[in-house]
Amino acid sequence: MRAIDHHAWTNRWRDWHPAEKLLPASGLLVLTLLLPPLTIAPLVLAGTALATVRGAGVPLRALLGVLAAPAAFLLAGIPFLAVSVDFAQGFDLRLSSEGLRLALTTTLRALAAMSCLAFVVLTTPLTDWMASLRRIGVPAGVVELILLIYRLIFVFFERALTGHQTQTARLGHSRVDRSVRSLGLLAGNLFQRALAQARRLEIGLLARGYAGELRVLAPRPVLSRTRLVAGMGLVGLVGAASSLLARGFP
């Protein structure tokens, strides 16, 4: 979890206007979902990998780590797309070419879509997203709630990690039953602390004149039209190339 956040804050494209990264990535995502996966997916994968690793300077390992996350899901689900069951004559399992094709296209589409998401999360810190949330009509109070949650996640995660380490050191996780008990105590403790933290935060903010709104100065990156147009142009190129390829082999 920290790896993604770390790269989001430290990559070379960190200071770019978020729209310059979000819009081309969304464009690629839409192309991935709409065009036939066999031709578009490899192009999208290559494009996002180049942009993330060559462009933004995020290590390839980090990108592969993000792509590996849904792998477990794909491994569990994909074989069952390829296999078909028939209850008509008892229980009949059969591998069909149609099923294999479906499994292949779905895997490709999921991987390509995931790479678009990976590009965005590895290059754009979450706080940069918030401005766009306001724009699509999420109430200001809810956006602020999201920002507070983002901040507190890291505070609590630190505590959970420390708590887990101390429990392990005291053999709290040596057996499954102990582990369940230890985790329950850890979660209960965390919740207590979370509520105490909320109360302290409230008192501290009230002392500073909090009336239900946190005002912060956000850096305002300048939108570079050249970069945005170039990005969208490349997305268009990928789409065109994929359509040409698709005509090549039906």
* Residues in region 204-223 near other proteins by CB under 8 A: 205, 210-212
Q: What share of the chain is helix, strand, coil (3-state, %, to 5)?
A: 75, 5, 20
Q: Considering the rule CB under 8 A, would residue 192 count as an interface residue with other proteins?
A: yes
Shortest Å distance, C-beta 13 to other proteins: 17
Q: Are 4 and 120 in contact (CB under 8 A)?
A: no
CB-wise, 44 or 51, nearer to other proteins? 44
From 10-18, 49-57, 87-95, 223-231, give the range in contact with other proteins by CB under 8 A: 87-95
Q: Which of 60, 185, 223, 237 binds other proteins (CB under 8 A)?
A: 185
Shortest Å distance, C-beta 98 to other proteins: 6
Shortest Å distance, C-beta 220 to other proteins: 22
Angstrom CA distances, 224 to 5, 19, 57, 229, stand at 24, 9, 20, 9
Q: Which of 60, 100, 188, 237 binds other proteins (CB under 8 A)?
A: 188
Whose CA is closest to 237, among 17, 36, 44?
44
State how far the Cα of 117 lies from the Cα of 109, in Å rounded to an integer.
Answer: 13
Angstrom CA distances, 195 to 22, 190, 200, stand at 35, 9, 9
Q: Considering the rule CB under 8 A, would residue 157 count as an interface residue with other proteins?
A: yes
Compute how many other C-beta atoms are within 10 angstroms of the C-beta atom of residue 164: 15
Shortest Å distance, C-beta 214 to other proteins: 9
Q: Considering the rule CB under 8 A, would residue 149 count as an interface residue with other proteins?
A: yes
